Structure 1
Amino acid sequence: MSKLQLIATAPMGLEAIVARELKELGYEDTRTENGRVNFTGGPEDICRTNLWLRSAGRILINMGRFKATTFDELFEGTKALDWPDWIPADGEFPVNGRSHKSQLTSVPAVQGVVKKAVVDSLKAKYGTEWFPEDGGKYVIEITLLNDEALLTLDTSGSGLHKRGYRLASTEAPIRETMAAALVQLSRWRPERPLYDPFCGSGTILVEAAMIGWNIAPGLRRSFDSEGWQRLTRKMWDDAREEAYDSVRDDVPLQIAGSDIDPYAIEIAEAAIKRAGFAKDIKVNVLPVAKAKPIGDYGVIITNPPYGERLGDDKEAEAALRQFGLTTLHYPTWSVFAISPSTLVEHYMGRQADKKRKLFNGRIQCDFYQFFGPLPPRERSHV
């Protein structure tokens, strides 16, 4: 069977992390664009990547690309693609659309043309005039950029950040995919302590634990493409069996966190328990001034409060100041903080060793990286 052209979508700034994850899973032929990483694979790889990718947004099938400056070009180009290969006669196929820097600017009109073209393609295959759309879900997305149309099928359904362990959240939680990326960008390994002094609903802590135990992040959820005819039950069973066999839950974890908000800690405890780490992640109600990471050569990864999130700039700045003072007591620890504030380095008392532009939701942030010394045993291998 010929290989499929697949796409792992990525939040802006995280494309390289998603590409690295794909390479670690064995996909060598990656090609990165803004907001997506292209790769090839068979139908079984749709199952594997949905289960395993930590920082990607969705897994899409690239159905085709072509120039579309008119509605006729869009219709004919869409109709020519292999929709019946994927969508059965009873398939539900809603169309989502986006248009940027293109002549076809009306998204509703674009969606309507794509829908009609797909219907015509399916009519020719199934010999019927009417489709009930009461079967599996096949979400089509049309993206127009610089007059080029990209047509995709969404295999994921809900975004991959929805792992299933977080039922409630604090007011401005960090997404699970972003939290996983921050852990991967840090030097953390499971033999080192990890602490989050502004842990909120505990997302960074849980994502770190899942990385530490090599738990596939999609193991607890379902995907739209599980109901697709082209992806057999055996493909999904094999992918899940591989994921279960890869879990290393005998690795000791030293993961803890704190937050000044008792409600946040309540939510964090529920998420930690639901994720299966009740005995392995400790959280407490504490202001950052009383945070007490245990051990040496640990890693602090955190999303400090800021004005837009807290609603109080002075309070956020005070928390940042205290955060900087607290880290002075831990000279062997590395510190990683994502923040839109330009005062992080000021309150840390030094310039970051590295900064990386990221978007936390729609807010542009920097990921400030302050490296501490490596543990002696790691240093000896450098």
Structure 2
Amino acid sequence: MIQQALGTGWVQSTMSKGVRQSSSNTYLANANTRPNLTVVINAMVVKLLSTASPSKVPAFRSVVFTDGRSTSGTPTFTVQATKEVILSAGSIGTPQILQLSGIGNSADLTPLNIPVLVNSPMVGRNLIDHPLLPNIFSVKGNDSYDDTLRDPVQFQNAINQWAANKTGFISNNLINHYGFARVNSSLITIPDPSSGPNSPHFEMLFVNFWLDFAVSVPSTGNFLTIVSSLLTPTSRGTVKIRSTNPFDAPSIDPHMLTTDFDVTAMRESVKAIKRFAAAPAWSDYVIGPFGNLSATADADIDAYVRQRTTTIFHPTGTASMTSKNSTNGVVNPDFTVKGTSGLRIVDLSVLPFIPASHPQGPVYLLAERAADIIKGIVSL
């Protein structure tokens, strides 16, 4: 049965009794008492070491780490894996560690005098993220949360209420409703980047207050924010280390909105949101678009999109998975790193395309699949 993934509905949140249920207080908490689990805190992985291998393929079964609270002068420690190292540092940390270890594009490593142990050109390439654009409307009355969030006393009272009995608006998700929609097919001049006609191109998130990561809430007024997020971006960015110091943040170029499709889709999401907010059902609440959201010409909407778009923090794809025989990509379908032995990657960096969804569920699915493969339960 084909499920319809378009429309508006309730947000499904991983929460229980006013508290977020994360992978830490579920998966990890359930495993904390296992004798074969050790969690090292305040640790920073420096790099992986190439170890002896009976084959010609470099093995990476040693991990070097140091005190994660300092940037220099701290001792390093090395741990040796008896079977495999599983790297799960995310779409930023994973390519950084690979590059520091000599696994990456020779064009990136050679200028830093890092010996290229495995020339893997796609390490740090194919960075994909969901662009986020807050679209803000002025609203009537004081039913939004703006007044509470502006007032330190009211906000502290809400925090105290949550701390005492896990109730109040802080006990809930910031977003209770969302919607998924598509761009009109006549505007798509490339192969459709979505997974099919029932799959969305963009998402709408409804927030009952001013939500803009770049601009503080005005001192007066009440607001409705309808965030648009492009779920099927075609732009691709990069993650590259800048030095051999693991404490130096890598250079991250999201390269957002660099394709015609991405700009068109974001423009159409703005138009769709404005039509939605102008519907008769909102007439006694929504006053109108705030600021440059009032733009109507395509060029002006494009300028607004470029000025206000940021990230929703869903980086994906920088160690992408391809078929076992492919010379492209970074990992194989069993999560092993191409050109190495003893090393797997299990995080969102391995996905060659970003899911058209929030990635929490997909990354859990990915980890469950990897766990089954590693345990040998699933055969490829």
Q: So what's the TM-score if we normalise by structure 2?
A: 0.22
Provide the TM-score with structure 1 as the length reference: 0.22
Which is richer in helix? 1
